[in-house]
Structure 1
Amino acid sequence: MLTGLYQWFYEVFIVKWDFWVLWGFIAQIMFMMRFMIQWIASERVGRSIVPVAFWFFSIGGGALLLTYAIVKKDPVFIAGQGLGLIIYFRNLWLIYKEKRKDPNF
């Protein structure tokens, strides 16, 4: 049993290691940072908020993950990240429009 598990980890994390796996890890870390930003900002004010940086990390991580998914030909990640990017850009556009209306925002 342990030999089979060891072999699986070896194949996944050593044999398959290449530039695109590194790219995928960097993308995932960037994507995860949006939650760190949101958590820290919420803790500072004592309520749940979503700062603008959350959406920028969402776009950066989502774009990198979409690239990774395209290279790896993963239809689940392609669909998920593709739709996500549309939503992230839309949220930034809504924030931009609101700021234009209210200069004190």
Structure 2
Amino acid sequence: MRFFWQWIVSEKERRSVIPVNFWYFSLFGSLFLLVYAILRRDIVFIIGQSTGFIIYFRNIFLIRHEKRKACAMS
């Protein structure tokens, strides 16, 4: 879903865009896979999914931080 959403937004903007929802879709997808990996007790799968989860969470954090900073400067 995240790649489909990114494609739609990029087509509307007529340029390559990564919308915030892309990161939310990534985060929730990674969370579901992480839960599945934990239930399977597969350490390699857990490490792989937790790494992605951390990266997606960090991107959302940075986006929110940037928006707050921009609002404070206005």
**Number of paired residues?**
72
After the TM superposition, which residues 75-90 of structure 1 pair with which residues of structure 2 at under 5 Å, given as runs? 75-90=43-58
Q: Which amino acid aligns with 1:37?
A: W
TM-score normalised by the chain length of structure 1: 0.63
Q: Which sections of structure 2, spanning at least 5 residues, go unmatched?
A: none
Shift of 1:75: 2.7
Residue 101 of structure 1 corresponds to 69
**Is residue 60 of structure 1 aligned with residue 28 of structure 2?**
yes
Q: Which runs of 4+ in 1 moved over 6 A?
A: none
Q: Which amino acid aligns with 1:94?
A: L
- Cα RMSD, aligned residues only: 1.5
Shift of 1:80: 1.3
Whose RCO is larger (CA < 8 A, sep 6+)? Answer: 2
Give the match's secondary structure for 1:99.
helix
Give the match's secondary structure for 1:49.
coil
Residue 38 of structure 1 corresponds to 6
Aligned-residue identity in percent: 58
Shift of 1:48: 1.0
Structure whose CA Rg is larger:
1
